[in-house]
Structure 1
Amino acid sequence: MLTTLLRDSRALAALAVPLVLTQLAQVALTTTDTVMMGLLGTRELAAGGLALVIFNQLRTMGVGLVTSVGNQIAAAAARAEQAAADAGAGGVPDAAVEGRREDVRAVVRASMAVATLAGVAGAVLMILIGQVLVTLGQDAAVVELTQTMLLALAPGLLPCLWFQAVRQFTVGMRRPQALLRITLASIAVNAGLNWVLIHGTWGLPQLGLTGIGVATSTVHLLSFVALYGSAKRDSELSPLLTLNAAKADPATVKRLVGLGVPIAATYGSEAGFFSVTALMAGAFGPAALAAHTAVNQLVYIVFQVAVGLSHAASINVSRELALGRTEDARRIRNTALACAAAVMAVVGVAYLSVPGLVLRPFLDSGSDQALTIATQLLVVTAFLQFFDCAQNIGVGLLRGLDDTKSGFRITLIGYWAVGLPAAWLLARPLGLDTLGIWLGLLTGLATTAVLLLRRYSSSLAARSDTRSAVAPA
């Protein structure tokens, strides 16, 4: 059994590790922008931060719309490979093989159509949101800078989502290696463009904060071009990669949107859940909010491991089910959870043994109260991250079953019906303050993880029973 687990773990890691590292590199990308904003001044940091919050919220929702593309590609590619193998054995005609490959191309075209529609709609919405910020009680001087920043960021949403569509194609084909190289390169390019456009060096205009927005949009465009070029140079990917969104099949587009909307809603729900708890922490004072923010950033960084494992497990489930291997799909769940537990155990030991070292990059050493609170929160976080990782893997596993609606419904229950009331009850009536908020977060994430994994098991069992019922005697 251990031998099987190790073999499955290596297979999962081959896809998960590049995705995890890519996710961490993307965190570094946004961190670079934030650091550059801070160098310009407090007002610029406030305006730029507000603009990035709006951009990232719309970007995240758009990414959700195309996230299921990887699963659809994986299933279609697995069927194409099976048809090719059968053709080699004389079982099916060559036309059937080409038909399966055309299924992959159809998903790629539809994904580009969805990404294009989402990118245009998101860019327009981004600008409109900027126009109403003053009515939401924001400082007028800050809003003026934010609006200019949003105008610079809006065009970048379209190539950003094109990049995500091609990314899902490469992941679905289980060839994501170029993603990491391109994302790492984009960090350096982004930092250089930020500096040049902020200060107007090499004869370029001095754009200040707006230069960061222009640089970000440019980097999104360059990243898309680089990933597309890399895929076209890949002999396995090139014949299947087509960007002609105008020829997208309406039925395939409708299917992707039907799968993607619940994913986008799930991402939005999770972001909203953590945003509300941040507001709750702020009610206990600056030290509590600083501690909450520092620990939340740690959780966000480590969460990228969960994202990579979730995507890899999800893609592999889609592939195994397309080939009719239900038992292998069940084993993928166990492998992903075991890998997650191993990583989270190492992180948890660090949180409990050297909390000061872990928190040092995020908290001023002179803030003793914030450091004390954050150290207490790390004890909760050491256990919370097991469930946070498990629930994200659960969402990915269900996505592998093309079941995105159940994931959304369950996260609503876990986050909002259980987690948020528990956080309020523990923080307020029971008087645990910020510690109570994080215990509530733990409760909500644990509930979500249990419900998601139970749903996956029952769905797999139902599929297995159905296959047994229709199998020839």
Structure 2
Amino acid sequence: MTRTPATPPTGAWRTLRHDSRALATLAVPLALTQLAQVALTTTDTVVMGLMGAEALAAGGLALVIFNQLRTMGVGMVTAVGNQVAAAAARAESAGTDAAREEAGEEVRALVRASLALATLAGGAGAVAMVLLGHLVGLLGQDAHVVAAARPLLHALAPGLVPCLWFQAVRQFTVGMRRPRALLRITLASVVANAALDWGLVHGTWILPELGLPGIGVATSLVHLLSFLALYASARRDERLAPLLDLRAWRTRAATLRRLTALGTPIAATYGSEAGFFLVVALVAGTFGEAALAAHTAVNSCVYVVLQVAVGLSHAASLHVSRALALGATDSARRVRTTALACAAAVTAVVGAVYVLAPGLVLRPFLDPAEHTATAVATDLLLVAAVLQFFDCAQNIGVGLLRGLDDTRGGFHVTLVGYWLVGLPAAWLFARRADLGPTGVWLGLLTGLAATALLLLRRYGRGLARRAAGPFPGAHGSVVTEHTE
């Protein structure tokens, strides 16, 4: 039986409510999953802090390297969800059994290729992690800290491959609109990670005492267990199981090349964004310890809110892929407004809390006795109340372009917005306008706003071209392999 997209109700307000509910169905579990994943790193950091200042410094250095490589690896397989969503939509709307089987084989081909790509990216990242552990000492870091960080990096490296396997299967389940198990598995992984961290660091229960490297062993084990749990869950799902083909060795080169071409700009975008925020933090640090502490505290608040945007971005991106696969251009056009409206509602509520109760917001991050840092952070929260909307909007814009398969365009726009607009503006506001740390954040706001506007404009133009007819980068079948 052929399925057709649901017709939204008439009336602008009723249409927005209808579209918001549809978007939230996918966005909410994804946002909660993102927040739970943040808790994994937080748990590691807390355990390191209990071990002392040197362990925290060494562990923090190792986690920065691991998270940078992990984030870029995740970017390599992120587009898989869009491709699966489009293929699944074609399967649902197919009029014949042969057409449905062809679309189903397309999904199986994508799963195989995504696991092959995850293995290659994870292996390359693991090698890079080990090499960086030996090279980071050349960057002027304390020798004792580097020596302590190196064994932790060696323990974290093997976990990158199962981490990206998990992400590949995650994109498959999300593309099929079956993400419910993700949150349960991620929450369980937080508990398992905390228990293994403590056990392997201190040698409790029957576990060996490994010290700081035990955190790396625990993280690698949790990534492997999370992948196995998600795979087992998908195998029990009658809709997912027939399409879950893990035989990565049967991937054809053309399929792998297509996913690599889509994933590489996403990985570069993620890496560019992380680098931009790192450089901005360094600029803030030039104004002293209190300014850097305030920047770190407020950035942590915004980072938590950003996880909501990540959920909205992924949900909107998949909605665009499905809508275009079904020829529903109007639905793809509406999702931009819906996602931005949802982001505005969330950031308005959070922004009001920033303005009305800054002490409550900052208490988990700053000691109230640190008067200078708290005063600077209170000023930064006023900027953050506006900034976080544009941060959400640019993240949604990247996702919308991913739905158009325009991953290179998203990367190019973010280079302009981050580095050619945001960074110079941060320097000018801070130094030339003599606004100090607040100027840094005004420059950050300027860069994110410019990025958001450019991304959303590019999406509107790309969608208009798509409505007029096929254009380069439009969705196409990736079935280039044939099973015997």
TM-score, structure 1 normalization: 0.96
Q: Could you say which residue in structure 2 is the equivalent of 1:471?
A: none
Q: Percent same amino acid among aligned pairs?
A: 71
Q: Could you say which residue in structure 1 is the equivalent of 2:358?
A: 355
Q: Could you say which residue in structure 2 is the equivalent of 1:80?
A: 91
* Residue 448 of structure 2 is aligned to residue 445 of structure 1: yes
Q: Could you say which residue in structure 1 is the equivalent of 2:241?
A: 238
Secondary structure at 1:68 match in 2: helix
Q: Could you say which residue in structure 1 is the equivalent of 2:79?
A: 68
* Residue in structure 1 matching 2:302, options 299, 302, 322: 299
* Residue in structure 2 matching 1:255, options 238, 258, 270: 258
Q: Structure 2: how far apart are the matches of 1:452 and 1:221?
A: 36
Q: Structure 1: how far apart are the matches of 2:225 and 2:393?
A: 34
Shift in Å at residue 161 of structure 1?
0.2
Q: Structure 1: how far apart are the matches of 2:469 and 2:241?
A: 37
Q: Structure 1: how far apart are the matches of 2:237 and 2:425?
A: 51
Deviations along 1:440-466, one digit per CA (max 9) or x if unpaired, are: 000000000000000000111111122
The alignment yields a C-alpha RMSD, in angstroms, of: 1.0
1:33-182 aligned at under 5 Å gives the runs: 33-83=44-94, 86-87=95-96, 94-182=97-185
* Residue in structure 2 matching 1:454, options 447, 457, 482: 457
Which residue type is aligned with residue 34 of structure 2?
Q
Secondary structure at 1:132 match in 2: helix
* Residue 24 of structure 2 is aligned to residue 28 of structure 1: no
Q: Structure 1: how far apart are the matches of 2:367 and 2:15?
A: 47
* Residue 227 of structure 2 is aligned to residue 224 of structure 1: yes
Shift in Å at residue 137 of structure 1?
1.4
Which residue type is aligned with residue 202 of structure 2?
H
Which residue type is aligned with residue 108 of structure 2?
R
Deviations along 1:178-225, one digit per CA (max 9) or x if unpaired, are: 000000001100000011101101232211111111000000000000
Q: Structure 1: how far apart are the matches of 2:68 and 2:306?
A: 17
Change (3 A) 1:430 1:180: same
Q: Structure 2: how far apart are the matches of 1:220 and 1:193?
A: 12
Q: Structure 2: how far apart are the matches of 1:64 and 1:4?
A: 32
Q: Structure 2: how far apart are the matches of 1:420 and 1:243?
A: 43
* Residue 367 of structure 2 is aligned to residue 364 of structure 1: yes
Shift in Å at residue 467 of structure 1?
6.9
* Residue 385 of structure 2 is aligned to residue 382 of structure 1: yes
* Residue 399 of structure 2 is aligned to residue 396 of structure 1: yes
Moved more, 38-47 or 457-466: 457-466
* Residue 10 of structure 2 is aligned to residue 10 of structure 1: no
Q: Structure 2: how far apart are the matches of 1:125 and 1:273?
A: 21
Which residue type is aligned with residue 419 of structure 1?
G
Which residue type is aligned with residue 140 of structure 1?
A
Secondary structure at 1:235 match in 2: coil
Which residue type is aligned with residue 54 of structure 1?
I
Shift in Å at residue 124 of structure 1?
0.7
Deviations along 1:96-151, one digit per CA (max 9) or x if unpaired, are: 22111000000000000000000111101100110112222121211111110011
Q: Could you say which residue in structure 1 is the equivalent of 2:208?
A: 205
* Residue in structure 1 matching 2:329, options 314, 326, 329: 326
Moved more, 131-140 or 319-328: 131-140
Q: Structure 2: how far apart are the matches of 1:37 and 1:466?
A: 55
Q: Structure 2: how far apart are the matches of 1:196 and 1:371?
A: 36
Q: Could you say which residue in structure 2 is the equivalent of 1:196?
A: 199
Q: How many residues are paired up?
A: 460
* Residue in structure 2 matching 1:289, options 288, 292, 296: 292
Q: Structure 1: how far apart are the matches of 2:193 and 2:404?
A: 37
Q: Structure 2: how far apart are the matches of 1:444 and 1:193?
A: 41
Which residue type is aligned with residue 320 of structure 1?
A
Q: Structure 2: how far apart are the matches of 1:241 and 1:15?
A: 20
Deviations along 1:148-195, one digit per CA (max 9) or x if unpaired, are: 001100000000000000000001001101000000001100000011
Question: Which blocks of at least 5 consecutive residues in structure 2 are unaligned?
Answer: 1-11, 472-484
Secondary structure at 2:178 match in 1: coil
Secondary structure at 2:221 match in 1: helix
* Residue 376 of structure 2 is aligned to residue 373 of structure 1: yes
* Residue 422 of structure 2 is aligned to residue 419 of structure 1: yes
Q: Structure 1: how far apart are the matches of 2:91 and 2:467?
A: 23
Deviations along 1:65-114, one digit per CA (max 9) or x if unpaired, are: 0000000000011111111xx23xxxxxx222211100000000000000
Secondary structure at 2:458 match in 1: helix
Q: Structure 1: how far apart are the matches of 2:306 and 2:21?
A: 20
Moved more, 443-452 or 457-466: 457-466
Q: Structure 2: how far apart are the matches of 1:135 and 1:436?
A: 32
* Residue 311 of structure 2 is aligned to residue 308 of structure 1: yes
Q: Structure 1: how far apart are the matches of 2:297 and 2:15?
A: 39
Q: Structure 1: how far apart are the matches of 2:393 and 2:137?
A: 40
Which residue type is aligned with residue 209 of structure 1?
L
Q: Structure 2: how far apart are the matches of 1:95 and 1:12?
A: 31
Deviations along 1:393-428, one digit per CA (max 9) or x if unpaired, are: 000000000000110000010000000000000001
Which residue type is aligned with residue 433 of structure 1?
G
